[in-house]
Amino acid sequence: MTPFHRARRRRRRIGLSAALTGLLATLVLAGPAAATPDPDRDPTTEVESTEGAGERSGAAGDDGIPGVDEIVHSDNITQLANIPREEGLSGTNSDIAFQGDYAFAGNYDGFVVYDISRPSSPRLVTQVLCPGAQNDISVTGDLLFLSVDSSRSDDSCSSESQPATEADSWEGIRVFDISDVRAPRYVSAVETACGSHTHTLVPERRDVYVYVSSYAPDASFPDCQPPHDGISIVKVPRHAPERAALSRFEVLFPDGGFPGDEDGSATTGCHDITVYQALDLAAGACMGDGILMDISRPDRPRVLDRVQDAEHFAFWHSATFSQDGSKIVFTDELGGGGAPTCDATVGDEFGANGIYHVTGRGHNRALSFQSYYKIPRHQSQTENCVAHNGSLIPVPGRDIMVQSWYQGGVSVWEFTDSDNPREIGYFERGPVNGDELAFGGSWSAYYYNGHVYSNDQKGLDVLRIDDRRTDPARRVHLDELNAQTQPTYR
């Protein structure tokens, strides 16, 4: 049996249900990417691991796997700080957004605001308790947005879990006023079909459009009926966010999208969308499909091209444009974030990134596949590991990303040569449990104003990369960063 066929058989064992629900059926933990997860169950506290054997640079033990909680990293990566998770916010750490000297870190129990004016000494500013998985987070101006993709009894921050089969259950977008970051104020909420697994801001001068990604409809869910073949678009007036409302539901897959097979997820909505407003483009990772969209009319996005990869992609998860917009990196979340897919058996073309070129012009633009990239460091069978959230490191003339891989850690990799991507730096911890599979690791790793910030289940990590290939990025300064609203770097 060839390595390719062994990998496909392993993918079948992982199972399509894992990709759809965000967890392995055999795991006794709450899946971080589940469509309707229970945020009252926290995968990060299922197993308590002891502090490991310290820190070292370079390779790990004889089998290449670090010890439990042991930190290993490449010579060009330095950990400057780790801020452990705050008391009262024990749920899964999720996404991060940035504004000025502040980092806003999402968590299944709410969100935390850190002062990062001194990256080596981040300081807690405030924490907000407002349960609702995933609490995917973004900021613009005085507004902060949270995605809620778990059925709640109502839209308040004191709501409780409630079955999606009940007609009065609520899921959707919450909006906060952060004009005073020390005291965020909850101002409005908008219910959306099938909730909001993630969201993407398309900020205009007067209004903010929010593309809401959600999926997994069911005939028994009154507020999430099939077919769910598009995205919800919410319009939020900047100066009257209390008037936030659903603008429309945009159908992106009139033919229903990829129907699914034994290896890949059927398309029933989108998982994540990244917009590049300077080019009026968006890239959508939509379960069984990758799409390129024209967003010159932000309230009416239009699909330009669709691609599928039934041989290698199980679940199209997220997307990142190159600086000039000529390339898109799509990620495949094989196993839904809860499976150990970074080993020799699975191989280096599954649970990986796919690099695509954007060809043609205008309405004739299309996506052309180039190659796959996966971290070259094998992980153990007790570590959930798969391609996850990342962002560009803005170096002129080069295409470099930093990216989280759950317990595979943080990878810095270059795809300037699209056919030969390669890792140029990494930071990771050993497994949180050396005996059985347990959830952990970095959910999001983004480069912001000279440093890498990783929202790990161990807390917020601040990393510095010292490398001639990435050093020019230190001259780039942003006032704000939501990785899914990709900026034009200057």
What integer pLDDT is reported at residue 174 of this predicted model?
A: 98
Residue 309 CA to residue 316 CA, distance in Å, equals 9
* pTM of the predicted model as reported, rounded to 2 decimal places: 0.91
The model's pLDDT over 354-390, given as tens digits with 9 standing for 90+, comes to 999 999 999 999 999 999 999 999 999 999 999 999 9
Q: Is the pLDDT of residue 224 over 90?
A: yes
- Measuring CA to CA, which residue among 319, 215, 312 is closest to residue 271? 215
The CA-atom distances, in angstroms, between 449 and each of 83, 103, 195, 322, 481 are 19, 12, 33, 18, 10
- If residue 425 lies in a helix (H) or strand (E), which one and from where to where? strand 422-429
* Residue 202 DSSP SS3: strand
DSSP 326: S
Residue 7 CA to residue 351 CA, distance in Å, equals 11
Dihedrals phi, psi of 145, to nearest 5 degrees: -120, 140
The amino acid at residue 114 is: Y
Q: Is the pLDDT of residue 347 over 80?
A: yes
- Measuring CA to CA, which residue among 242, 208, 206 is closest to residue 140? 208
Residue 117 CA to residue 321 CA, distance in Å, equals 28
DSSP string, 391-404: EE---TT--EEEEE
Exposure on the CB side of residue 114, measured as CA atoms within 13 A: 28
The model's pLDDT over 35-76, given as tens digits with 9 standing for 90+, comes to 333 333 333 333 333 233 344 454 455 578 999 999 999 999
- Measuring CA to CA, which residue among 415, 425, 421 is closest to residue 464? 425
Fold entry, domain 25-277+380-481: Methylamine Dehydrogenase; Chain H (2.130.10)
* Residue 290 DSSP SS3: strand
Residue 217 CA to residue 429 CA, distance in Å, equals 36
Cα of 364 vs its chain's centroid, Å: 29
The CA-atom distances, in angstroms, between 178 and each of 50, 51, 226 are 37, 36, 36
The model's pLDDT over 152-162, given as tens digits with 9 standing for 90+, comes to 999 999 999 99
Dihedrals phi, psi of 371, to nearest 5 degrees: -165, 175
Give the tokens for residue 71: 């930190």
Q: Is the pLDDT of residue 149 over 90?
A: yes
In the chain, domain spans = 25-277+380-481
What integer pLDDT is reported at residue 85 of this predicted model?
A: 86
Residue 104 CA to residue 89 CA, distance in Å, equals 14
DSSP 178: -
Percent of the chain with pLDDT over 90: 85
